[in-house]
């Protein structure tokens, strides 16, 4: 708790270009004010999951956010047909923790990679991502803008790699190559309990090498590291990626504790046990340390790239009045 009346003489220091503080002013309380404001307004986070059916995408999202924000598919129902193109399904939930409200939107992509011929199956996804940028751009360019532009842009795309144990599949590299420049991609190795620890390490090494060779820049991208501290933190994370994860929404009793896990005939895989899988690392990275950064990179870099491209296309954007909500002359 900050005591605003504290006049600590040793809180003054001479920073270059600044003036010497003779007493305590209270500028640093702005952090507290910002925090309070953020808590009141809450914030948005949009996460997209991409990968073949059955890789545990919905389960992982539910495990990450410890709530049923994603409906698990039971596969295609008897008379349902697999969609010919990839569908985009966005579902939003508001979850709250410690007084902070988050509107979490999970964008699912059923049908990805499920057909025999998967040529261009990434196109609906690419289109969706660009459409969100376009929506935001239109709002920004309006004469009378909304106070808080609703942000539907995809902040993070988790790509699920099949744990084959050999290499990345062709579809994996094609997708990531094409989309790593328009959205933050976080590759994860799905259903990691398929592999023993040695197999996992070997597979990871091979996958990372392939990603490098293919020139795929996954998040956190090296070029956006702001300073040395960032770089060293992010280097450590990059070394450990892609995280080999296991998801589960069932609890079991292990050693007197209740843990999330998967029970097979010979053992229980504990999801949050760092000796079993890297879920905890992914969660800490995604939610506890880099959540805000994901949003910032999306806004400051990916969105700006899109915006610059659009501006250059038509020789300029024309601001439109709020009544003109149909096709603008962009």
Partner 1 sequence: MQKGKLTGLRATEKQYVGFATLPNQVHRKSVKKGFDFTLMVAGESGMGKSTLVNSLFLTDLYKDRKLLNAEERINQTVEIIKHTVDIEEKGVKLKLTIVDTPGFGDAVNNNECWKPITDYIDQQFEQYFRDESGLNRKNIQDNRVHCCLYFIPPFGHGLRPVDVEFMKALHEKVNIIPLIAKADCLTPNEIKKLKDRIREEIDKFGIKVYQFPECDSDEDEEFKQLDKELKECTPFAVIGSNTVVEARGQRVRGRLYPWGIVEGKFTNKFLCSVENQSHCDFVKLRNMLIRSHMHDLKDVTCDVHYENYRAQCIQEMTSKLAQDNRMESPIPILPLSTPDVDTEKLIKMKDEELKRMQEMLNKMQQQMHDKEQ
Pick 104 or 161: Cβ nearer partner 1:
161
- Contact between 43 and partner 1 by CB under 8 A: the answer reads no
Token pair 């905890």: residue: 280
Q: Which two tokens stand for residue 223?
A: 């070029």
Cβ proximity of 61 and 89 under 8 Å: no
CB of 16 to partner 1, least distance (A): 50
**Residues 142-171 as x/- pattern, contact with partner 1 by CB under 8 A:** --------------------xxxxxxxxxx
Q: Give residues with Cβ within 8 angstroms of 223, minimum separation 6.
A: 217
**Residues 255-294 as x/- pattern, contact with partner 1 by CB under 8 A:** x------xxxxxxxxx--x-xx------------------
Pick 1 or 74: Cβ nearer partner 1:
74
205 exposure class (CB count in 10 Å sphere: 0-12, 13-18, 19+): exposed
Long-range contacts, 128-132 (Cβ 8 Å, 24+): 128/88, 128/154, 129/48, 129/153, 129/154, 129/157, 129/179, 129/182, 129/183, 130/182, 130/306, 132/46
**Residues 44-83 as x/- pattern, contact with partner 1 by CB under 8 A:** --------xxxxx----------------xxxx-x---x-
CB of 85 to partner 1, least distance (A): 14
C-alpha–C-alpha distance, residues 116 and 52, integer Å: 12
Q: By CB under 8 A, name the binding residues for partner 1.
A: 52-56, 73-76, 78, 82, 114-119, 162-171, 173-174, 190-191, 193-194, 196-197, 210, 213-214, 254-255, 262-270, 273, 275-276
């Amino acid at each position: 708790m900050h005591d605003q009346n504290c006049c600590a003489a040793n809180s003054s220091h001479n920073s270059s270009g600044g003036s010497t503080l003779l007493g305590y002013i209270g500028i640093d309380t702005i952090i507290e004010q910002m925090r309070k404001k953020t808590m009141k307004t809450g914030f948005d986070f949009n996460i997209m999951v991409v990968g073949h059916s059955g890789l545990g995408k919905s389960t992982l999202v539910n495990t990450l956010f410890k709530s049923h924000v994603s409906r698990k598919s039971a596969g295609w129902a008897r008379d349902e047909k697999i969609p010919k193109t990839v569908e985009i399904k966005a579902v939003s939930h508001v979850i709250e923790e410690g007084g902070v409200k988050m509107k979490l939107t999970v964008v699912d992509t059923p049908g990805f990679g499920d057909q025999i011929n998967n040529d261009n199956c990434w196109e609906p996804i690419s289109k969706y991502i660009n459409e969100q940028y376009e929506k935001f751009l239109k709002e920004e360019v309006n004469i009378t803008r909304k106070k808080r532009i609703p942000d539907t842009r995809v902040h993070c795309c988790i790509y699920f790699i099949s744990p084959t144990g050999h290499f990345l599949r062709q579809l994996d590299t094609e997708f990531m190559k094409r989309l790593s420049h328009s959205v933050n991609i976080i590759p994860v190795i799905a259903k990691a309990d398929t592999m023993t620890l040695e197999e996992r390490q070997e597979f990871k090494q091979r996958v990372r090498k392939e990603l490098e060779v293919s020139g795929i820049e996954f998040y956190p991208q090296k070029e956006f590291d702001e300073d040395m501290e960032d770089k060293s933190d992010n280097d450590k994370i990059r070394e450990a990626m892609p995280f080999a994860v296991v998801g589960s929404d069932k609890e079991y009793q292990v050693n007197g504790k209740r843990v999330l896990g998967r029970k097979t005939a010979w053992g229980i895989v504990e999801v949050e046990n760092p000796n079993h899988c890297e879920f905890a690392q992914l969660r800490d990275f995604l939610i506890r340390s880099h959540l805000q950064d994901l949003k910032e990179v999306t806004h400051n870099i990916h969105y700006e790239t899109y915006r610059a491209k659009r501006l250059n296309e038509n020789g300029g954007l024309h601001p439109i009045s709020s009544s003109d909500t149909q096709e603008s002359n962009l």
